[in-house]
Amino acid sequence: MADPIAEVAKKHPAPEGIVYAYGTAGFRTKAEVLDSVMARCGLIAALRSRALGGKSIGVMITASHNPPEDNGVKLVEPLGNMLAEEWEVLSTEMANKATPEDVSAFYREIAERFNIKLSTPAHVVIGRDTRASGARLLSCVLDGVKAAGAEPKDYGFLTTPQLHYMVRCLNTQDTSDAYGTPTEPGYYEKFSEAFKRALGGKKISGSLTVDCANGVGGPKLTELVKYLPPKDQGLEIFVVNDNVIKPESLNVECGADFVKTNQRAPPSSKSGPNDRCCSLDGDADRLVYYFKDSNNMFHLLDGDRIATLVASFLGDLVRHSGLSDILKLGVVQTAYANGAATNYVEQNLKLTVDCTPTGVKHLHHAAAKLDIGVYFEANGHGTVIFSAATLEAIAKHEPRSPAQKESLDVLKACIDLINQSVGDALSDMLLVEVVLAHKNWGPQEWLATYNDLPNRLLKVVVSDRNQFKTTDAERKLVKPDGIQKQIDAEVQKVRQGRSFARASGTEDAVRVYAEAATRAEADDLARKVAEIVKAAGSA
């Protein structure tokens, strides 16, 4: 009898000479070499679903902010969170099996290792972004899912956060903590309704121009707008860079990564002085704000700024609701967070800051340990997590005055407005607009909360990135020997200096970050640390 697992591996053979790795964002590389990986991820998703008693597992086909010719895939756990680390390792092993027979043998080995009954029903939920390669790669995933005898549910085009939302809704729909309706209209209804409640009658001043990176966020935002209050009562949104008809324009001179990296607005931006603007990335899970002042100077309001804005607002709501005695709020950052942002949270907001290694899964994990955990990477990817005990305390809390009730109602609405399964650019955007409306702030007032320290990020190409080992949430190098001492010596020479070097998660390079009191000092420090890294990398 034919072996369906070996057959599907034979149908989608692995190219020779390529080693795949499940990184912080799943598998991601040139789309033309991903067919075998996609089919095998279909197999892994089916096994993971069975290991969890038939719960729905998500598969998202996307390469986010990468160029149009790339693609990728990541698996999503039942509550919309990242794949368990142990299964990332299994996925990497599966992707690198040489022959169809090896694939089949490993599939059965996993089943045996985790006592998985292969007769258990399995459910796999799939979404994809708008890349030209998406349809072909979807068919490879479906081949893998069907070969494993699992039931696929293809949602077609979705933002990455929408796929995470669908997975969480499907797995909680028959429980007391049902997350929402697992349909696209269900997504728009949940977040638009929460947005209206969170505004609490406050007026939003001015309009918002949203650059959608010519990705899937464009059509989805256009759909979401239909559910929001009319612009004269709510938010007037101008959608730009939403051309999904030309997949080759995805992320080209637009999108969150372009704005963050180049520190300038997309060339297509037609906004005027002090107009609020924001950019999504290609799969709409990152968000950065920015504006040009009356002197045409560009100002970026990145993930650090969003984190401080949201933490300040939620902290006020907790206090004004009469909950500050029982709930503690904290902020989670990575080493890339600007030192001025960290200082503002600790000194002005009087909140704790945790620092984790780079990668959303690390931030999410740390935030989940707090009552209310606000986490954002500087690149604009982030969300807020409320613990189960916190949600219970908020639900039970009896306000003692009309003012407390008002704050409590807004806090409850914000909980519904925030996509707690994953960073969601559309949900985060609505949250930022709510905060600005309540504070009666424009972008200038937001920018004025603190002054960013000038910083520089450089990339040093090395022959082997694995020789660079870090500790202290990637802020210190322990290998090669002696290198941290040299970096520390350079840092001491500049005012408010800070610098670190860490191996890239995706290429043979080391990223060097430096900040200091002035632009010249930050640039000089980055250059000197890059030279130290280069010398160590070629030694």
Bridge partners (DSSP) listed for residue 290: 277, 300
354/334 Cα distance (integer angstroms): 8
Three-class SS state of 457: strand
In sign, the C-alpha dihedral spanning 51, 57, 60, 61 is positive
Could you tell me if 334 and 363 are in contact, meaning their C-beta atoms sit under 8 angstroms apart? Answer: yes
Contacts 24+ apart (CB under 8 A), 529-536: 529/487, 529/490, 529/499, 529/501, 530/458, 530/460, 532/483, 532/486, 532/487, 532/490, 532/501, 533/460, 533/462, 533/468, 533/483, 533/501, 534/460, 534/462, 536/467, 536/468, 536/480, 536/483
Degrees (nearest 5) of the Cα angle 384, 390, 395? 110
136/11 Cα distance (integer angstroms): 13
Bridge partners (DSSP) listed for residue 332: 354, 375
- Spell out the alpha helix ranges (H) of 284-387: 303-320, 339-343, 360-367
193/204 Cα distance (integer angstroms): 16
425/448 Cα distance (integer angstroms): 23
395/369 Cα distance (integer angstroms): 20
Q: Enter the tokens of residue 509.
A: 């390079």
Position of tokens 């696209």?
184
Three-class SS state of 247: helix
**What's 34-68 look like in SS3?**
CHHHHHHHHHHHHHHHHHCCCCEEEEEECCCCCCC
The secondary structure of residue 524, as a DSSP letter, is H
Could you tell me if 150 and 49 are in contact, meaning their C-beta atoms sit under 8 angstroms apart? Answer: yes
Could you tell me if 169 and 142 are in contact, meaning their C-beta atoms sit under 8 angstroms apart? Answer: no
- Burial-class residue 132 by CB neighbours within 10 Å (0-12, 13-18, 19+): middle
Three-class SS state of 4: helix
Catalytic, 268? Answer no
Degrees (nearest 5) of the Cα angle 297, 289, 447? 60
The secondary structure of residue 333, as a DSSP letter, is E
138/335 Cα distance (integer angstroms): 36
Could you tell me if 361 and 293 are in contact, meaning their C-beta atoms sit under 8 angstroms apart? Answer: no
The terminus-to-terminus CA distance of the chain in angstroms comes to 56
The residue from 64, 271, 312, 421 that is catalytic is 64
- Annotated catalytic sites, by residue? 64
